[in-house]
Structure formats: structure tokens, C-alpha cells
Amino acid sequence: MSRLVNPLREKLAKGEPVVGTFVSLPSPPFVQILAGCGFDFLIVDGEHGPIGPETAQAMITATAVAPCVPLARVAWNLPWLAKPLLDAGALGIVFPLIRSAADARAAVAACRYAPSGERGWGPFYAPSRWGLGPFAYSGSADAAILTILLIEHVDAVRAIDAIAATPGVDVAVIAPYDLSTSLGKPGAFDDPEFLAAVAEAERGIRAAGVVLGGLAATAERANALIDRGYRFLCLAYDVLLIETAIRGLLAGVRRAPGPA
């Protein structure tokens, strides 16, 4: 291979739905297990997980056991937060709390080398993760790496047309928890104001031809979103998946002594 190829980008270009989850537990072995389960992508969560750059690099590397694309979420929309994760081999960055077209432009620039962006040259580890030399990697990275925006504030909904039309934006994910909170109605996912905000965000994202993404806690919800045109599906997050599995297991165990 003489250039960097992002299998996730290729699937999305064909209109195929892709599924993944956020990983907030700072554990490369756990990432290895999740990658082997069949996820299309995993997002190393540097926003809400206690994950430093060293652990993030090990987690990104741990996805190599399977055809699972490593992505990473930064704590804020700053190029110096994205840079080490890209240099570790992440093939996309998830940027939180995008609220304007200026925010979107900054996110795109963080994922691209000069002169079109602000990413400094220093691919010491990412090339070997993908079987390339440093200049083969850096020469094709801009076209391969995904810029993923979280639409999770009412300001983003109001500016959705300008945000989604920003050149270089690949995926826009509607994040219900923060969006409902920004409306002053945390968790009120059936509230008419929240539903109207989601519909407006969906409209703007579709109109711009950007991949529409969302969060689904169940397979049924994921399938419903796919039927509505969503193609980038985050299946809850690691802690919720673990809690759901464990609580379901414990609920099925009889904790009273049976008949003698």
C-alpha cells in the first residue's frame, strides 16, 4: 500500500451504514476485545474518559487485531488536542460542541497538514500503524482522515446550514444528551422542542450531503435511524454496554435458595 486508505470513508462513500461505540475506559485490552466483536469503528474518548495520550496511542494500536477503524474524540475543538491522536494513528477526530461555521472550519484545519490546515508534520507512529513510510502517510492523510462534528447545542442547530456546508466536514452526529440539555430539557427526548431541533439538524445535514450520524442505545433504535437515512451509528458507549449486560445477567439469577 502506497497511500493511506480509510475503510470507513470508503464504506460511507458507498452509502453503507457503519456502527461503532465510544470507549471511555482507559484499557487497550478492552479495545482489543471490542475490535474483535465486529465494530466498524471505535472512538477513543478523550472528552469524558480518563485517557491520556500514552494510553490513547495504545488503544488506537489495539484496534489492529481486526478491520476496525480507530477514531478519537478530543475534549475541545483545539488543534493541539487532535494532533497527538492523529499522530498515533487515528483515522478521524470527533469534535464536541460545535456551534458555528467558524468552529467547523477550525476542526477541519486541525485534521489537515499545511498549507490547507494546521496539523504539524510529525508522523512518527501513525505510518507504521498503517504500513506506510512517513511521507507516503502524510501525502495521503488529508484525504483519508475523517472530520466528525458533534451537533449537540441549540446554537449548532440554528447555524446548521453554514456548519454542514463547511468544506472538509465529513460526518455530523446529532448528540441527543447535550442537545436536550442545551434546550433546558435534559433527557426529554419526546419533547416537541427537542424533536423540532433534531428535525432541523437532520434537514441541514442532509441538504449539505454530509453523512448523518446519531446515537442508538439498542439495535432497534439503530435500525430505525438507518431507515431515516443515518449512516454513522454510535451504539451507546462502553460503560452503558457493560452495565446493561451485567444488570441483565444479574437480573436472571435467582438469589434465593431453591427447594432442598
Distance CA 162, CA 1 (A): 37
| CA pair distance 109, 117, nearest whole angstrom | 4
Q: Are 171 and 148 in contact (CB under 8 A)?
A: yes
- From the list 48, 67, 75, 76, the catalytic residue is 48
Q: 143-166 burial string, b = 16+ CB within 10 Å, else e? A: ebbbbbbbbbbbbbbbbbeebbeb
Q: What values do phi and psi take at 144, rounded to 5?
A: -95, -35
Residue 7 to residue 91: CA distance in whole angstroms? 9
Return d(Cα 216, Cα 19) in angstroms, integer: 10
Q: Is residue 48 flagged as an active site residue?
A: yes
Backbone torsions φ then ψ of 201, nearest 5 degrees: -65, -45
Give how far Cα 127 sits from Cα of 19, 91, 156, Å: 25, 11, 35
H-only helix segments in the chain: 7-13, 28-36, 53-62, 79-87, 101-110, 126-129, 134-144, 154-158, 160-164, 176-182, 192-208, 219-227, 238-251
Cα 116–119–123 angle (5° rounding)?
120
Active-site residue numbers?
48
